[in-house]
């Protein structure tokens, strides 16, 4: 890769890798939010929440968790490749999910 391709973007002042890392971070946070929403519905016992079978809710929850994990890993790998966490991003989002299944961030 040419050296100039590694330099800051004139428009953003960011390297391409840093920008891809920021995009991966946004994608991960969105997947995390979606997983939390699906998970809440999966464990909800109110009548309004139980239109689907337990199995269907579990499948949706598993799919959302897998998507979240793929995006977390992509973000973590980009951070590793970059060698640092871009300014403004919280390190806590790189944390694993707690053993009780709850997010391990504040």
Domain ranges of the chain: 14-94
Query: Contact at 8 Å (CB) between 4 and 71?
Result: no
pLDDT value of position 52:
64
pTM over 0.85: no
Nearest to 87 by CA among 28, 22, 27: 22
pLDDT value of position 34:
94
pLDDT digits (tens, 9 = 90+) for 21-80: 999 999 999 999 999 998 887 777 666 565 667 778 888 889 999 999 999 999 999 999
Asked whether residue 5 carries a pLDDT value surpassing 50, the answer given is: no
């Amino acid at each position: 890769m040419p050296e100039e391709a590694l330099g800051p973007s004139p428009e953003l002042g960011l390297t391409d890798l840093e920008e891809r890392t920021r995009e991966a971070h946004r994608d991960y946070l969105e997947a995390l939010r979606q997983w939390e929403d699906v998970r809440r519905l999966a464990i909800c016992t109110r009548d309004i929440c139980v239109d689907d079978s337990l199995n269907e809710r579990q499948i949706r929850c598993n799919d959302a968790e897998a998507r979240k994990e793929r995006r977390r890993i992509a973000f973590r790998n980009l951070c590793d490749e970059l060698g640092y966490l871009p300014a403004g991003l919280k390190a806590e989002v790189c944390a694993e999910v707690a053993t009780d299944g709850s997010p391990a961030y504040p």
